[in-house]
């Protein structure tokens, strides 16, 4: 099973790296959104420090959503997904490998780019570390929840719009507590542990529930 997991993971990463424009589009979208926002609200340091965490997290959420429609689409069109369903391997495990590949290509780069974006908003070193930690815990949840929506809307006309409508409400708690952890870290007396505890709970619940739910949605979409 581990060999199958690694095979799917390495295959998806290799194929994505051959289409670098898809990966770079997500990163450029994140950078552009975060960079342009100060031009619209002004350059007052106090205002930027207050808005920065929310802006970075919203941009990360939208960047993750931008790549979700392609999660199963290519395998669906060339018949690979149908072969996965007939392979006799646990479909949840295969989906988890694809989700991990999606996060490595879209979520993980955002974690390392975020400090550069945070500097624009005048966040101190402690807040930047909290931002990186919250993104590292929160973006996998976005990928796991997004996989369920991508599986449910697979093959539908206008699936991208429907995917956004289905998944965005599920993203709200992750957005609130992820950005909230960074916001309270700016206040030295505030404690970020409750926020990270909830993000950890979201991540654990998503790891347990999202792959089986996505597998069931894929079977429904393929019928």
Contact of 200 with 187, CB cutoff 8 Å: no
CA distance 101 to 108: 10
Average of per-residue pLDDT across 203-207 = 94
Top mean-pLDDT range of 44-53, 71-80, 118-127, 135-144? 135-144
Q: Which pLDDT does position 197 carry in this prediction? A: 93
For residue 164, what are the CA distances in angstroms to 47, 60, 147? Answer: 29, 14, 12
pLDDT score recorded for residue 158: 64
**pLDDT higher than threshold 80 for residue 35:** yes
Structure confidence by residue, pLDDT tens digits, 208-217: 999 999 888 8
Query: What pLDDT digit, counting tens, does each position of 40-84 carry?
Result: 877 787 888 888 888 899 999 988 888 887 788 777 777 777 777
Give the three-state DSSP class for 101: helix
Mean pLDDT of 9-33: 84
> For residue 137, what pLDDT is reported?
93
Output 25 or 159, whichever has higher pLDDT: 25
Write down the pLDDT at residue 159.
66
In sequence order, the 6+-apart residues with CB closer than 8 A to the CB of 113 are 27, 30, 31
Cβ-Cβ contacts under 8 Å for 126 (sequence gap 6 or more): 185
Q: Which pLDDT band, with edges at 50, 70 and 90, does 207 fall under?
A: very high
pLDDT per residue as tens digits for the range 187-200: 765 678 889 999 99
């Amino acid at each position: 099973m581990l060999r199958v997991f690694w095979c799917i993971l390495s295959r998806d990463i290799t194929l994505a790296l051959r289409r670098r424009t898809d990966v770079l589009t997500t990163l450029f979208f994140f950078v552009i959104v975060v960079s342009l926002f100060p031009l619209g609200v002004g350059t007052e340091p106090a205002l930027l420090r207050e808005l920065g965490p929310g802006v970075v997290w919203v941009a990360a959420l939208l960047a993750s959503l931008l790549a979700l429609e392609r999660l199963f689409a290519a395998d669906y069109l060339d018949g690979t997904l149908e072969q996965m369903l007939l392979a006799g391997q646990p479909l949840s495990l295969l989906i988890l490998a694809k989700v991990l590949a999606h996060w490595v290509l879209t979520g993980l780069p955002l974690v390392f780019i975020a400090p550069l974006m945070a500097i624009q908003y005048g966040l101190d070193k402690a807040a930047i570390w909290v931002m990186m930690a919250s993104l590292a815990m929160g973006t996998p949840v976005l990928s796991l929840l997004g996989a369920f929506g991508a599986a449910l809307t697979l093959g539908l006309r206008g699936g991208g719009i429907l995917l956004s409508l289905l998944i965005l409400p599920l993203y709200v708690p992750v957005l609130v507590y992820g950005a909230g952890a960074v916001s309270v870290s700016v206040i030295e007396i505030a404690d970020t542990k409750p926020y990270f505890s909830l993000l950890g709970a979201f991540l654990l619940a998503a790891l347990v529930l999202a792959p089986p739910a996505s597998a069931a949605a894929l079977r429904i979409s393929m019928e």
